[in-house]
Structure 1
Amino acid sequence: MEFKVVVFSRYGRLGASSRLRFFQYYKYVNSLFGSVVTYPLFDDEYLTDLYSHGVRRKSKVIYSYVKRLFQIITIHKYDVVIIEKELFPYFPATIERLLNFFNVKYVVDYDDAIFQMYEESSNWMVKFFLKDKINVVMNNAHIVITGNDFLFSKAKFYGAKNVTVIPTVIDIDRYVQESTRQEVPTVCWIGSPSTQKYVVELKDVLIRVCLENKAKLVLVGATTSVGDFFPDIDLEIIPWEESTEAFIIKHSDIGIMPIASTNWERGKCGYKLIQYMATGKPVVASNFGANIDIVKNECCGLLVNSDDEWYEALTQLIKDRQLSLKLGASGRERVENIYCIQAQYKQFLKVLRSSVN
């Protein structure tokens, strides 16, 4: 029997969370379960405006909300309902309550600590009226999917009935393991305009490492203005594109992921680390959150706590070729066993099968 699945995603394919948590699973859903219809709340044009200009057009937001309301009216046509995070950001969980009231099972997915957005808002009205919103969404869900153990524990704390962890993963077929060292030692960071602040905070260390080792720094997904923080080094800033990210990572030597020690970052799922590891690159990452579970210090990379440790770890990996190869090979193996869609799609399909209305 073929089932019909509807996904109320936050974004289209340009949005990393939507692409990785849903879109890449569709080939398995289509061949082994049924058909999928996706209703993104915000389209790629909205996301482009947000990343390029920092603009959220109110008219676009209003249009998106009205459109979603009409899409929800068709929900009875589908056998499985999946929601990314929430149906209407900054609105009460009224629709989610109604779905549960009318016995419509839904699956809700979280790959970050979105509850922080409400619980710790600087706007007293948001905090007062919406601090328990995600609690309500989780409690009314048939199944909650989380991207890491921290989010799993939060869902359990909020009283969610059924919770399962499915990490954010890559398609291993898109990533080729590469052990050849680049002519110029190359340190790679991949991210977005919203996360580039972390690499800027590390600028003094990165400049020192690059100058002392005649190394190159590659920043993928950062804005060109970031170049002002990295004078006098070999720097390349490359726009992010889905079609080229794996190729760029493959032609680097070390992947880095600095993050802040905040509750928001604790909810992140370490996807960039998984990308580096998939190509057999050793990683250096902040010793915090999901990074700890993914890297397993001195197994697939080095976890660090301070600028001095960042400097020592990067310098060590540039100079110690055998260590780099060992960590890189272990990282690739770990991705093949856990952090790829080929290892996780059966669990995703299991969730769908248990959520049929």
Structure 2
Amino acid sequence: MKKKTIKFLVPYPYDIAPGQRFRYEQYLDILTEKNFEYELLSFLDEDTNKILYKKGHTLQKVTGVLKGFLRRFWHIWKARNADFVFVYREATPVGFPYVEWILTKVFNRKLIYDFDDAIWIPATSSQNKLIAFLKSPDKVKKICKWAYKISVGNEYLQKNANQFANSTTKAVLNPTTIDLEKKHNILHQHNPNKKPIIGWTGSHSTLIYLEMITPILKELEQKYDFTFRVICNQNPNLDTENQLQSFEFVKWNKETEIQDLSELDIGIMPLTADAWAEGKCGFKALQYMALGTPAVISPIGVNKKIISQNENGFLADTETEWKEYLSLLLENPQKRQEMGILALKTIQNEYSVQSNRENFLGLFT
């Protein structure tokens, strides 16, 4: 039987970006098993990606991005006869979606459009403010209209994608999932005699969410002895910036990521209540829970679906609730263990690669 071909047009090189790793990369072996032949085509090369968020290197950054645009024309040619073209978020970071237009309108390819954030909402940060004016959030609506299938990470994204889509395309709810066999396969070892670790993980772009939790942790320090671990690619220096005595920074490393996460006794995911946060897919909470660690998270978007209150974790809305639930878990190792067991079961049943396998494969039919 002839193999069907898939061309993945994605922003970053393989095994670097969390979104890419957990949206499609962990399914690649399954695609191979099912007689698909695929190729990963990234906009950025590895050298440019390494310096993209570092200070300086302006010439190399500009050169690397321009090469990405040129590379995309070669990618269009390579994808012109593919059975499926899978675009994660966008084929190019700025401007009109010419790549998607050519592939769907000129070459008539079946485009599967996948996103896991509310990327149609303009979101300017200190890292992207120089090119924010070149971004085209409306491109999401255009690509949804051209897509053969749309794959999204939660119901909020699904509702909006369906409003953007053409009359024959319906967005598929394809949750962000965890591979419990090959990746998140170390269970947290509950030890009531060690100092508990409250932890947060994320990229530099989401460090802003720690601002709302830092004062709460400072207050808890007055009563409890714990460590607050931040696993990130950038050090927020909360010990010097915010005088947080419990702060510990662990630089994100894909080789040690799971081990570093497995040492957490409590995972947190604070969010602000806005449209951008509504589009998030609960990834931090899913990672904690997959390792048998209870999570305390903001009741925003899909988080309200992931957590069953006081069973597999806590939803904390107010400052009082954050202090109450964190205190309860700090004081009760047994409660942490019981919640962690139920948290893992939630991932196994609803948010694992294994439980979502057929749903993901259904995109390519």
TM-score with structure 2 length normalisation?
Answer: 0.89
2:150 corresponds in structure 1 to 144
Report the equivalent of 1:187: 198
Report the CA distance between 1:302 and its aligned residue: 0.7
1:221 counterpart = 2:227: no
By how many angstroms is 1:282 displaced?
0.8
Change (3 A) 1:338 1:10: same
Identify which range, 278-287 or 233-242, moves more after superposition.
Answer: 233-242
Higher mean Cα deviation, 224-233 or 339-348? 224-233
CA contact (8 A) 2:190 2:337 kept: no
Residue type of the alignment partner of 2:97: A
Aligned partner of 2:111 in structure 1 is: 106
Decide whether aligned partners of structure 1 residues 190 and 54 sit closer, same or farther in structure 2, where only a CA change above 3 A counts.
farther
Correspondence for 1:260 among 256, 272, 280: 272
Residue 213 of structure 2, aligned match among 180, 186, 202? 202
SS at match of 1:212: coil
User: Stretches of 4+ moved more than 4 A in 1?
Assistant: none
User: Structure 1 residue 97: deviation in Å?
Assistant: 2.8
Q: 1:206 to 1:48 in 2, by over 3 A?
A: farther
In 1, Cα distance between equivalents of 2:276 and 2:43: 22
- Match of residue 17 from structure 2: 15
Pick the aligned partner of 2:188 from 178, 183, 188: 178
Percent pairwise identity:
25
| Cross-structure match for 1:300 | 312
Structure 1 residues 221 and 44, CA, compared in 2 at 3 Å: closer, same or farther?
A: farther
Give the total of aligned pairs.
351
Aligned pair 1:97/2:101, yes or no?
A: yes
Distance in structure 1 (CA, Å) of the matches to 2:33 and 2:275 = 38
- In 2, the alpha carbon distance for the partners of 1:244 and 1:319 equals 28
Please tell me whether the aligned partners of residues 118 and 130 of structure 1 are also in contact (alpha carbons under 8 angstroms): no
Counterparts of 1:232 and 1:154, CA distance in 2:
40
Choose which of 156, 159, 176 in structure 1 pairs with 2:162.
Answer: 156
Q: Secondary structure at the match of 1:195?
A: helix
2:216 maps to amino acid = V
Matched, 1:72 2:82: no
Question: Which residue in the other structure is 1:311 paired with?
Answer: 323
Equivalent residue number for residue 334 of structure 2: 322
Structure 2 portions without partners, runs of 5+ = none
Deviations 1:95-152 (A, max 9, x none): 3233332421110101111101289x999x959x945321110010000000111100
User: Whose helix proportion is higher, 1 or 2?
Assistant: 1
Residues 95 and 9 (structure 1), Cα distance of their counterparts in 2 relative to 1, 3 Å cut? closer
1:230 Cα deviation (Å)? 4.5
Contact 1:112 1:267 in 2 (8 A): yes
1:155-213 Cα offsets, whole Å, 9 max, x none, are 11113413101111111123322341260011011111111121133211112223421
1:115 aligns with 2:117: no
Cα separation, partners in 2 of 1:293 and 1:235, compared to 1, 3 Å:
same
Residue 84 of structure 1: aligned partner: 88
Which of 46, 56, 63 pairs up with 1:59?
63
Between the aligned partners of 1:134 and 1:184, the Cα distance in structure 2 is 46
RMSD of the TM alignment (CA)? Answer: 2.5
175-184 or 240-249, larger mean C-alpha shift: 175-184
CA contact (8 A) 2:209 2:271 kept: yes
Q: Once the 2 structures are TM-superposed, how far is the Cα of residue 257 of structure 1 from its aligned partner? A: 0.5
Q: Would the alpha carbon gap of residues 196 and 132 (structure 1) be closer, same or farther in structure 2, given more than 3 Å must change?
A: closer
Which has the higher mean CA deviation after the structures are superposed, 77-86 or 175-184?
Answer: 175-184
SS class of match (1:333)? helix
Counterpart of 1:342 in structure 2: which amino acid?
A: Q
- Residue type of the partner of 2:44? F
Please report how far the alpha carbon of residue 7 of structure 1 lies from its aligned counterpart in structure 2 after TM superposition: 0.3
The separation in 2 between residues aligned to 1:122 and 1:16, in whole angstroms, is 22
Change (3 A) 1:290 1:142: same
Cα pair 1:210 1:217 within 8 Å, conserved: no
Higher mean C-alpha displacement, 130-139 vs 9-18: 130-139
Unaligned runs of 5+ in 1: none
Question: Normalising by structure 1, what TM-score?
Answer: 0.91
Q: Deviations along 1:243-273, whole A, 9 cap, x unmatched?
A: 2121112112100011111211111111111
Q: Is contact 2:115-2:152 (8 Å) kept?
A: yes
Find the aligned partners of 1:317 and 1:54 in 2 and give their Cα distance: 43
CA shift for structure 1 position 348: 1.3
